[in-house]
Every structure is written in C-alpha cells, then in structure tokens.
Amino acid sequence: MIFELRHRLIFLRHGETDWNAEGRLQGGQDIPLNAKGLAQAEAAGRIVGKIVGRDKARLEAFDYVASPLGRARRTMELARGALALDPFAYRIEERLRELSFGRWEGMTWPEVQVDDPGAAARREADKWSLVPPGGESYAMLCDRLRPWLETIDCDTIAVAHGGVARCLMYLLAGTATERAPMSDIWQGRVLVFEAGRYRWI
C-alpha cells in the first residue's frame, strides 16, 4: 500500500463506448457510451445499491465525483438515477481524467505497433513507465491522482477510467507496477477499495 485511505472508495469504470468495443485507445478523447455502455452504467448503479443499501440518507452521505469526460459523467448520471438520486448532483474532478495516450489516441494497438514499433515494443517491456508520444505514463497518472486522494474526507463514489483504476490498485492496495497495468477493469461491475485492499463486486 502506497497511500493509506481512511475512507471507503467505491469505483465505477464508465460503460462501454464504440471505441472500447473496437479496441481503440481513448485517453482524453470524448467518446460517448454506446447502448451496451448505457445498460452497464445502470447495472453498476444497482450494484452500488446492493453494497450501500437503498436508504437515501445513507446514499447521500457519500461524496460523488466523476471524471470530466462525457462517458464518465453519463455513467455517473445513470448510476445515480438507478439509485433514485438526482442524476446531476455530483462533482467533476479533473484529476480523474483518463491516462493520455497522446498521438496514439484513436488507434488500435496493432495500428500503434505498425505506426511506432520501437515505442510499442518499449511499452510492452515497461507498460508502467513508458510515455506515449505526447501522452502520459501510469507513473505520471499516479502523480496526478495522489493529491486528489489526499482530499478525500468521507466515503466516496467515483466514476472514471481503466487507467485510473489501475493506478488506484497500485496506490491503495500495493498492486505491483508490473501487474497493475495488466489488470482487467470491468465495465458494469464495481471496484471497492477499503483497508488497503480491493475487491470486485
């Protein structure tokens, strides 16, 4: 564990987009949810209800924050709607923005390997530290996230991205830097960080 979080963090990855389905690197591109992603967002909200309960006062005691990207905001709104909460009563947190892939955004990984084989090979060898051209490494994303974690002062529900979840696995649960970037981050499920550990629900 790198950072000791004294509160529970319930994390939702945004629902699927067409670029997810096509295997395209999204990063900072604002790609909307597709039909499957809309259903996944509502399903994640229902899972939160099973974890926390349906008592409105208890649900409203959480802080709700989302990445500024539309796919995360829409996921938050649908999840809150599934909890019978005001869909729009949440905060935007810029530091939850997805890992930037720079010039590679919009490309599939096979396309990156053809376009920039040297950098692609270096990233395969060290996925944690390699900085895509004009983008960010996971290490840089962790540096962006840690000051946000320091502001958390109550149980929190956050909606963000796969790269963010992998960094949280490292920061909050001590997942090795070799393993964290390889971790599957499922859409439509919920990731709970608590007491230096994480679990999927």
Catalytic residue among 16, 77, 98, 136: 98
Q: How many CA atoms lie within 13 A of 97 on its CB side?
A: 15
Q: Grade residue 1 by pLDDT with cuts at 50, 70 and 90.
A: low
Nearest to 64 by CA among 198, 166, 158: 158
Query: Average pLDDT for residues 136-140, to the nearest whole number?
Result: 98
pLDDT score of 147: 97
Distance CA 51, CA 106 (A): 35
pLDDT score of 124: 95
Per-residue pLDDT tens digits for 3-60 = 999 999 999 999 999 999 999 999 999 999 999 999 999 999 999 999 999 899 999 9
Strand partners, 33: 17
DSSP percent split of the chain into helix, strand, coil, nearest 5: 45, 15, 40
Asked if residue 66 has pLDDT above 70, the reply is yes
pLDDT score of 81: 98
Per-residue pLDDT tens digits for 144-196 = 999 999 999 999 999 999 999 999 999 999 999 999 999 999 999 999 999 99
What pTM did the predictor assign?
0.97
Among this protein's residues, is 14 annotated catalytic? Answer: yes
pLDDT score of 85: 98
Nearest to 23 by CA among 116, 164, 162: 162
Query: Average pLDDT for residues 100-127, to the nearest whole number?
Result: 97
Length of the chain measured in residues: 201
pLDDT score of 107: 98
Which domains, and CATH codes, for the chain? 9-195 (3.40.50.1240)
